[in-house]
């Protein structure tokens, strides 16, 4: 289920943050602490129960398709990927509420589509995300995203667990992007050291 920090719980219920904390301390609300700063969090369902609201589980299903380049999109790869996901949802009687796409590298963590999925899950608007392969969601760190969505009560359906061989070219592009990124940082650091040495000599 979606988790809320004290501030968010206060805005959701209309109660003062100190009142929320007091109710947790008294056991009237069930809360826990998470993260390095040990912030208090409360399940949205716990707040709904406290306020007498009926429990409403999210039923929306989001499909997520991604290609790395506009060339792939122009070739129809993105549309075909979406079509396969729609077919999968149809065969499993899933009601699609959101179709989310990205044209970006799988190592890009600032994708608009990915950000939208996270927001949908945090807001309790979806209960399931359907993707074709794990690397469509993320080239690296898939498990972290899976845990994040799970905390918000969202399950991920991966149509093909093994991935597809035809994406080898895309993988090469992603690896080259990683090498280029590290090279830029390395040379940038070396350049900074040279400038520092020259400045100290002056």
For 15-52, the DSSP string reads: --HHHHHHHHHHTSS-EEEETTTTEEEEEHHHHHHHTT
CA-based torsion, 105, 107, 110, 115: positive or negative:
positive
Q: Nearest CA to 160 among 136, 181, 178?
A: 136
- In the DSSP assignment, the letter for residue 165 is G
In the set 68, 105, 121, 127, the catalytic residue is: 68
Active site residue 68: yes
Angle in degrees, CA 66, 67, 68, rounded to 5 = 125
Angle in degrees, CA 161, 166, 171, rounded to 5 = 85
C-alpha 66/C-alpha 74 separation (Å) is: 13
Please name the helix (run of DSSP H) or strand (run of DSSP E) that holds residue 84, with its range, or none: helix 77-91
Q: Supply the residues annotated as catalytic.
A: 68
């Amino acid at each position: 289920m979606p988790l809320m920090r004290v501030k968010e719980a206060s805005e959701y219920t209309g109660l003062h943050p100190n009142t929320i904390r007091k109710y947790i301390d008294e056991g009237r609300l069930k809360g826990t602490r998470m993260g390095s700063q040990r912030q208090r969090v409360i399940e949205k369902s716990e707040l709904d129960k406290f306020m007498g609201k009926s429990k409403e589980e999210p039923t929306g299903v989001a499909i997520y398709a991604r290609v790395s380049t506009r060339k792939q999109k122009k070739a129809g790869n993105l549309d075909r990927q979406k079509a396969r996901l729609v077919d999968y949802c149809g065969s499993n009687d899933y009601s699609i509420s959101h179709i989310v796409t990205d044209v970006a590298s799988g190592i890009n963590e600032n994708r608009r589509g990915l950000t939208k999925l996270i927001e949908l899950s945090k807001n309790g608007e979806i209960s399931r995300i359907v993707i074709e392969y794990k690397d469509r969601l993320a080239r690296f760190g898939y498990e972290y995203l899976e845990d994040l969505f799970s905390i918000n009560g969202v399950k991920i359906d991966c149509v093909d667990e093994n991935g597809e061989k035809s994406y080898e070219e895309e993988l090469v592009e992603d690896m080259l992007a990683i090498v280029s990124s590290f090279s830029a940082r390395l040379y940038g650091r070396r350049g900074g050291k040279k400038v520092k040495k020259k400045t100290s000599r002056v």
